[in-house]
Amino acid sequence: MAIPVTVVTGFLGSGKTTLLSRVLREPELENTAVIVNEFGEVGLDHHLLRPVAERTLLLGSGCVCCSEREDLAEALGELLDLYQRGEIPALDRVVIETTGLADPAPILHTVFSHPVLSHHFTVDLVITTVDAINGTMQLSESPEATKQVAASDEVVITKTDLAGPGEKEELEARIRAINPPARIVEASFGEVDVRELLSPEVRVGERDLPRLQEHDTASTHTVSVTFDGPVDWTAFGIWLSMLLHARGESVLRVKGLLDTGGPGPVVLNGVQHVIHPPQHLDRWPDEDRRSRVVFITRDIPEESLLASLGGFRGLLGARVVPLGERVSSRGGSS
Ligand SMILES: Nc1nc2c(ncn2[C@@H]2O[C@H](COP(=O)(O)OP(=O)(O)OP(=O)(O)O)[C@@H](O)[C@H]2O)c(=O)[nH]1
């Protein structure tokens, strides 16, 4: 069984360390190793702390999202070695706390494409902290913050104790607009339900799928689609590989459930050029048995994506159908 790796990102000062130092006290996370970019001041000493300095190795293509975090590969390799030699008795999970400006894609790429590490580790969740008081402004001004939210499975709104009236709701709408399927939880000083936080439950309901959004500065588009019947999995895989090969740096996120004719769907999960190994579920998570796939892109118009999938109709065996309502940049329906 691959050891789950949870990546915790979040803008500078958004509360990553506070959240981690709180949740790592829970018995469920007893055998968790933590990899951090620098040593924090918090008392994480009963856990295995491995500081890494940020060193990035660009792979041949020169594309940032396909760069490998050499430092991280080394740290994970050392951890694995210690575990295999019995020097760490149990290793149930690894948590990687990134620096505030880190791009999550190279971290995922490192875990999924490394010839050795990919056999032993798998990324189960990307969690992003967003500060309730500064988050809306940071998402307007920082492409890094937007990328982190787009890449996440779960967003933790921190500092809710400091938020003024309406601030949290505005931020939540903003997060929903960038990443409709992400789970959003709230935390004041890291107080969250750890089981809920770490549950890799897949939730892609139609309610969460607005069709197209554009943001003031980040110009991200969210396109949600379904198909009018089961999709040929191999053909879809080829189409997605072609898209990511050509435009991976503009595809911030792909997430969804695909009806491939089996009893349960195939779970799709990707960040930029990196696709998590697809997971075949035995059954559907809810009543809705249609495929639903969300693409969060930068600079790829909805029409192009739909036209490209439409052109593959013969091979896919089904016609693409847009899902959901058109919504405005602030997340309300129009
Ligand atoms: N009031 C309040 N303060 C918080 C909360 N969470 C974090 N803080 C404070 O915010 C500051 C930054 O929190 P950190 O946990 O260090 O944030 P970080 O994301 O790890 O920071 P960097 O690693 O520097 O990017 C600290 O002073 C925390 O005490 C919260 O929920 N409420």
Q: Tell me if 10 CB under 6 Å of ligand 1.
A: yes
Helix crossing, 104-113 with 143-151: angle to 10°? 40
Q: How far is the CA of 5 from the centre of ligand 1 (A)?
A: 22
The segment with the largest mean pLDDT, out of 99-103, 181-185, 207-211, is: 181-185
The pLDDT value recorded for residue 195 is 86
Eight-class DSSP state of 291: -
Q: Does 14 sit in the ligand 1 pocket, CB within 6 Å?
A: yes
The mean pLDDT value of the chain amounts to 80
> The domain 220-322: what is its CATH number?
3.30.1220.10
Mean pLDDT of all residues in 230-258: 87
Report the separation in Å between the CA atom of 29 and the middle of ligand 1, taken as the mean of its atom positions.
21
pLDDT digits 0-9 by tens, 239-248: 998 888 888 7
pTM of the complete model: 0.74
**Domain map of the chain by residue range?**
3-198, 220-322
**Nearest atom of ligand 1 to the alpha carbon of 40:** 23
C-alpha span between 51 and 302 (Å, rounded) = 42
Predicted confidence at residue 324, as pLDDT, reads 64
Tally of residues, the chain: 334
pLDDT of 60 higher than 80 = no
Q: pLDDT band for position 66 (50/70/90)? A: low
Find the angle CA(279)-CA(284)-CA(287) to the nearest 5 degrees: 155
Q: What is the 13 CA–ligand 1 centroid distance (Å)? A: 5
Buried b (16+ CB within 10 A) or exposed e, 75-110: bbeebbeebeeeeeeebebbbbbbebebbbbbbbbb
Q: How far is the CA of 273 from the centre of ligand 1 (A)?
A: 31
Integer-rounded Cα Rg, in Å, for the chain is 19
Nearest residue to 317 (alpha-carbon basis) of 202, 222, 232? 232
The ligand 1 atom nearest the CA atom of 158: 31
Residues contacting 25, CB < 8 A, separation 6+: none
Fold of 3-198: Rossmann fold (3.40.50)
Specify the range with the lowest mean pLDDT, choosing from 79-83, 101-105, 215-219: 215-219
Lowest mean pLDDT among 79-83, 95-99, 212-216, 245-249: 212-216
Q: Which amino acid is at 30?
A: E
